[in-house]
């Protein structure tokens, strides 16, 4: 009997261990897909130069996959309900490999944009289902930790994707960077095959439930806050390299260091503001909004070799933006506890739509007018969230909202 109990315990430990490996692999997958999405932000100038394109047109490399992802995320939840999640993940990672190889070999901007369309499907699909899988891979008492680990991949990619791209581009060029992402994605495909168990879909979401979620006043306000914050951020940050290069006259090396510092503070913001959001969500969002406004304003008020000022602005910007994903996801969970998957899909859709709209509007303004005007308008869009936050009332057990 003792031997039997020991065997059962060992088997349970093995299952739990493999499940945590799957959680880690999902975090790496979200990191890979969002990093692939973010990379062109730091590569706009060299890509535009290599493919003989304008900076604004190159901005489509951000907006197109984001818009595709926004459209595809709800489709995954509604139309792919009967597909095994493991099969769906393996298929999407395979597409990610193809997309990165196409980008590395692109000889024209049109070919590169096609590869980014494929990336959009990967983003919308993987991001939409990855977070919900924590409920099935982790023990009930560890679901929160598993979810945090998976979303840490998104946060890390959001803040480190750009500095990684700039650093490697300065050494090997942007084509090598996409090739490296293809290799990394292939490694993750193998790891996914080995660690992620069969996960038959257990969802029964309907369009009616989506409509009910949208009719929830606080969910709707949260989606608008997401739209304004994220679109304003990407309207400005998509063109951060040209801003630092042309307005602040920083060298490629200085830009790389400044963006790396942005990434480090972004990860700090992810954890610090993430924990703060669990205690007082509204206060945390105030910190994020004020930080973003401060950063965009300071960057436009200073110029010409202001390395210290621009770096401080990027540090505040990174810390503030690092907490956006966790804070806004917390908003959705607080206001839709019975329909978290639906609220997540809506949030992911609006988040990526905001990325696409922000970078698209920024590209138009940069081409038609100037980088400085684009920064001013981005600040104004972020400021609009102030009115929404003043009016909203939230129920949160650990806060005074």
pLDDT at 254: 81
CB contact burial 309-330 (16+ within 10 A = b; e otherwise): ebbbbbbbbbbbbbbbbbbbbb
DSSP 138-156: S-GGGHHHHHHHHHHHHHH
Question: How far apart, in whole angstroms, are the C-alpha atoms of residue 384 and residue 386?
Answer: 5
15 contacts 137 by C-beta, under 8 angstroms: no
Coil, strand or helix: which one is 54?
Answer: coil
Question: How far apart, in whole angstroms, are the C-alpha atoms of residue 107 and residue 50?
Answer: 9
228 contacts 348 by C-beta, under 8 angstroms: no
Which of 395, 15, 355, 335 lies closest to 161 in space, CA to CA? 355
CATH superfamily membership of 11-204 = MFS general substrate transporter like domains (1.20.1250.20)
Cut 0.85: pTM above it: no
Question: How far apart, in whole angstroms, are the C-alpha atoms of residue 213 and residue 249?
Answer: 47
Helix axes 324-335, 340-368, angle to 10 degrees: 140
Question: How far apart, in whole angstroms, are the C-alpha atoms of residue 105 and residue 118?
Answer: 15
Yes or no: domain 206-401 corresponds to CATH 1.20.1250.20: yes
Considering Cα of 233, then 234, then 239, then 245, what sign does the dihedral take?
Answer: positive
The residue ranges of every structural domain in the chain are 11-204, 206-401
Binned average pLDDT, 10 residues per bin, the chain of 401 residues: 38 55 90 88 83 80 86 80 85 95 91 92 85 74 73 76 78 89 95 89 67 79 93 89 79 79 84 81 92 89 69 89 84 76 82 85 85 90 90 53 40
How far is residue 12 CA from its own chain's centroid?
A: 34
Question: How far apart, in whole angstroms, are the C-alpha atoms of residue 216 and residue 220?
Answer: 6
Considering Cα of 359, then 284, then 131, then 343, what sign does the dihedral take?
Answer: negative
Which of 354, 346, 331, 343 lies closest to 74 in space, CA to CA? 346
What separation in angstroms does the CA of 245 have from each of 47, 77, 210?
Answer: 15, 42, 44
Which residue's entry shows tokens 């099969």? 87
Question: How far apart, in whole angstroms, are the C-alpha atoms of residue 61 and residue 84?
Answer: 31
pLDDT at 399: 41
Coil, strand or helix: which one is 338?
Answer: coil
The two domains 11-204 and 206-401 share their CATH topology (first three levels equal): yes
Question: How far apart, in whole angstroms, are the C-alpha atoms of residue 375 and residue 62?
Answer: 17
Question: How far apart, in whole angstroms, are the C-alpha atoms of residue 111 and residue 101?
Answer: 11
């Amino acid at each position: 009997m003792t031997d039997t109990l020991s065997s059962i315990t060992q088997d349970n430990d093995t299952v739990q261990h493999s499940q945590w490996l799957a959680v880690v692999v999902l975090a790496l997958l979200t990191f890979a897909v969002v990093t692939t999405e973010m990379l062109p932000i730091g590569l706009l100038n060299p890509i535009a130069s290599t493919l003989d394109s304008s900076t604004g047109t190159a901005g489509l490399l951000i907006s197109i996959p984001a818009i595709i992802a926004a459209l595809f995320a709800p489709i995954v939840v509604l139309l792919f309900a009967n597909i095994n999640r493991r099969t769906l993940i393996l298929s999407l990672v395979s597409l990610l490999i193809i997309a990165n190889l196409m980008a590395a070999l692109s000889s024209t901007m049109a070919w590169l944009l096609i590869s980014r369309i494929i990336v959009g499907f990967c983003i919308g699909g993987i991001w939409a289902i990855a977070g919900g899988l924590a409920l099935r891979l982790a023990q009930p008492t560890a679901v929160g930790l598993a979810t945090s680990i998976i979303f840490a991949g998104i946060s890390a990619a959001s803040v480190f994707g750009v500095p990684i791209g700039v650093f490697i581009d300065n050494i090997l060029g942007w084509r090598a960077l996409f090739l490296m992402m293809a290799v990394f994605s292939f490694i993750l495909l193998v790891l996914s095959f080995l660690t992620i168990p069969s996960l038959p879909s257990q969802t029964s979401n309907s369009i009616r439930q989506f409509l009910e979620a949208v009719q929830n006043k606080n969910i709707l306000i949260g989606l608008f806050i997401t739209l304004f914050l994220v679109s304003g951020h990407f309207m400005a940050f998509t063109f951060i390299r040209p801003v630092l290069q042309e307005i602040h006259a920083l060298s490629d090396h200085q830009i790389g260091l400044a963006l790396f510092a942005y990434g480090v503070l972004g990860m700090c913001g992810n954890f610090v503001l993430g924990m703060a959001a669990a205690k007082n969500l509204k206060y945390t969002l105030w910190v994020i909004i004020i930080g973003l406004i401060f950063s965009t304003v300071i960057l436009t008020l200073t110029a010409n070799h202001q390395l210290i000022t621009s770096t401080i602005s990027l540090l505040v910007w990174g810390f503030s933006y690092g907490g956006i994903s966790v804070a806004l996801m917390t908003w959705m969970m607080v206001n839709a506890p019975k329909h978290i998957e639906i609220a997540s899909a809506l949030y992911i859709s609006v988040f990526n739509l905001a990325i696409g709209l922000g970078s698209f509007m920024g590209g138009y303004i940069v081409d038609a007018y100037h980088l400085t005007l684009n920064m001013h308008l981005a600040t104004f869009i972020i400021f609009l969230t102030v009115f929404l936050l003043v009016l909203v009332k939230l129920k949160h057990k650990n806060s005074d909202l």
